[in-house]
Structure formats: C-alpha cells, structure tokens
Structure 1
C-alpha cells in the first residue's frame, strides 16, 4: 500500500503523478488537485481546467485575467 502525501491515507488504489520531474503519491484526484493545481491569481480558486496564463500568472478564466490587468485575455477566440 502507498500513503497519500496530502491526507496520509494508506490505500491500495493510490497512484503516482510525476510533475516537473518529481513523483507524488495520492489516494484521490481531490488530493492531487489540492497539492498540484495552480491557484487563480485574482480570485484564489484552484485552476483544474485549462484556465488562462497571462503575464507569467495563472487565472481560472479570462475575466479574472482581465481584472488583473491582462486586457487582451479571452475565453473564446
């Protein structure tokens, strides 16, 4: 069994995620998201979809990117 690095649960269904050359062990996608997902620079939510990257920052949507001063950000083209 492997132990989740977020919640500490020992679980036979744990899985590994390798990100930026580092391997992490989780028991659920919820814990993986908690540990690895970027945070929107404007509203603070976890970015679990495509999101928007602008000016070196991550945002959950174009609206938040625009609110942070990235006027050209769009959700759709």
Structure 2
C-alpha cells in the first residue's frame, strides 16, 4: 500500500500530487495541506484558499499583507 509522506500511514486510498516535477503521496488532504500549502508570512497559518501574494511573498489575506508592510493597494484575490 502507498505510504503517506507526512504521517507514514499505509492507506489503500492514498493519492499522489504532482507538483513542480515531484510526486508526493498523501493519505488525506490534511497531510497534503501540511506539506504543500504556503505559510502566511504575517500570522503563520497555512494558505489554503486564494490568499494574497506580493513581491514573491505569501499571505493568507490582504489584512495580513498590509500588516506586514505590503502596500495598501493589495486586495484579497477572488
């Protein structure tokens, strides 16, 4: 059985994620998010939705981007 690269669980319904030339195996979306989702540079939470991006930096929302000093013109992506 495939083994999750995050938790090590052997699970018959594990799935692969292909990203940036690498193949990752997970047993749940929770583990996939833990490994793959970027981290907000202001509050540290995982960016699961659209988030905000400026100057190559990731934020969970426009509020965090502004709080981190990114220009006031940034808006949440929809």
TM-score (normalizing by structure 1)? 0.95
2:50 match: 50
Is the strand fraction higher in 1 or 2? 1
Q: Report the count of equivalent residues.
A: 77
CA distance in 2, matches of 1:10, 1:76: 37
CA distance in 2, matches of 1:18, 1:67: 33
CA distance in 2, matches of 1:76, 1:35: 23
Does residue 11 (structure 1) correspond to residue 14 (structure 2)? The answer is no
Displaced runs of 4+ in structure 1, greater than 2 A? none
TM-score (normalizing by structure 2)? 0.94
Gapped regions of structure 1 (runs ≥ 5): none
Gapped regions of structure 2 (runs ≥ 5): none
